[in-house]
Chain A
């Protein structure tokens, strides 16, 4: 089974609606990263979380880390078409992994105007 599971795999929402994407790890999280990717392009760094209970926000996107549950959630408030894309979570699953990260399969978000 995969070490990092993302859900849902895809999501279609109406503009203005809120949504949540989850990322669950089968191992202890030493760092959790959220990225956004447009198809055929590179990854754009959104946020990094390291401590249990940590919560960060950037514009209308908020990410939280539940260390005990080995899970992170990404919440978008009042979604807009510009939020559409693929959201990937990445994680450091070893205490000293020399910067290597493991990635989930991504969540494809479509926002209907």
Chain B
């Protein structure tokens, strides 16, 4: 199957610092990855589409200077939360779009990163 990993799984940081979250596709290449934010008992909110070798596409209302996305290779996308504040505390999940043999286009999700900003 298609496995997506995220690192770190949990991070606690002080207000004003920056935090980098990594999303890796372990056994397949992903030209497109997605970054989501999930609030408690709520659904996933798409933040941005990460495209390998080009700029990320951000959803309306998401500050691109606040949430920096870099998709430097076909297996790695990073999300950096800059100058984090308590309101940025959330569960961040990435997914990678895979075209596996015998299957149609499917998104595979990472295990998520719990960010707590003090």
Contacts and interface: CB of A to CB of B under 8 A. Distances in A.
B42 to A, nearest CB: 6
Interface stretch (B12-20, B69-77, B80-88, B109-117): B109-117
B34 A100 contact: yes
B29 interface: no
B107 interface: yes
Contact of A42 (B34, B49, B109): B109
Contacts of A88: 43-44
Interface of B: 4, 6, 32, 34, 41-44, 46, 49, 91, 93, 95, 97, 104-112, 114
Interface of A: 33, 35, 40-45, 48, 50, 88, 90, 98-106, 108
A59 B107 CA distance: 21
A38 B41 CA distance: 11
A94 to B, nearest CB: 13
Contacts of A100: 34, 46, 49
Nearest to B45: A103
Contacts of A99: 32, 34, 49, 97, 105, 107
Contact of B114 (A33, A40, A43): A40
B77 to A, nearest CB: 14
A42 B44 CA distance: 11
Contact of B107 (A33, A50, A108): A33
A43 B97 CA distance: 14
Contact of B44 (A41, A44, A103): A103
